[in-house]
């Protein structure tokens, strides 16, 4: 399995396990336990807007640097390519 597809499988598994497919949170406590993780979303699977679009699910490329997924805190920095800051610059 290539590194690209392995990364996609890991991210997809984490998203499904965390129930973080959408940035809508049940309550403020749950929101406090999540963080925006940039650079790990697959094309069309990002949460919320990017620098070039205003809607969720509009990332045009895998691992797009300005697209994020909402993940449990502490997860992002463990992922290859994951960043807590947008790199759209």
How much is the pLDDT for 20? 47
How much is the pLDDT for 87? 78
Most trustworthy range by pLDDT among 1-10, 29-38, 62-71: 62-71
Counting the structural domains of the chain, the total is: 1
Backbone phi, psi, residue 51, to 5°: -65, -30
DSSP one-letter string for 69-84:
EEEETTSGGGSTT-BS
Residue 54 counted as domain residue: yes
Residue 32 counted as domain residue: yes
Instruction: Provide, rounded to the nearest whole percent, the portion of the chain with pLDDT above 90.
Output: 26
Residue 16 counted as domain residue: yes
Residue 8 belongs to domain spanning: 3-78
pLDDT at 58 over 80: yes
pTM: 0.61
Distance between CA atoms of 39 and 46, rounded to whole angstroms? Answer: 10
Residue 84 counted as domain residue: no
H helix runs in 1-89, sequence order: 3-18, 28-32
């Amino acid at each position: 399995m290539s590194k690209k597809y392995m990364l996609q499988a890991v991210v997809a598994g984490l998203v499904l396990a965390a129930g973080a497919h959408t940035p809508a949170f049940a309550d403020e406590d749950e929101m406090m336990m999540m963080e925006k993780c940039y650079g790990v979303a697959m094309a069309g699977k990002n949460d919320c807007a990017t620098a070039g679009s205003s809607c969720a699910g509009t990332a045009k490329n895998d691992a797009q640097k300005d697209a994020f997924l909402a993940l449990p805190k502490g997860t992002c920095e463990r992922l290859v390519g994951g960043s807590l800051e947008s790199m759209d610059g």
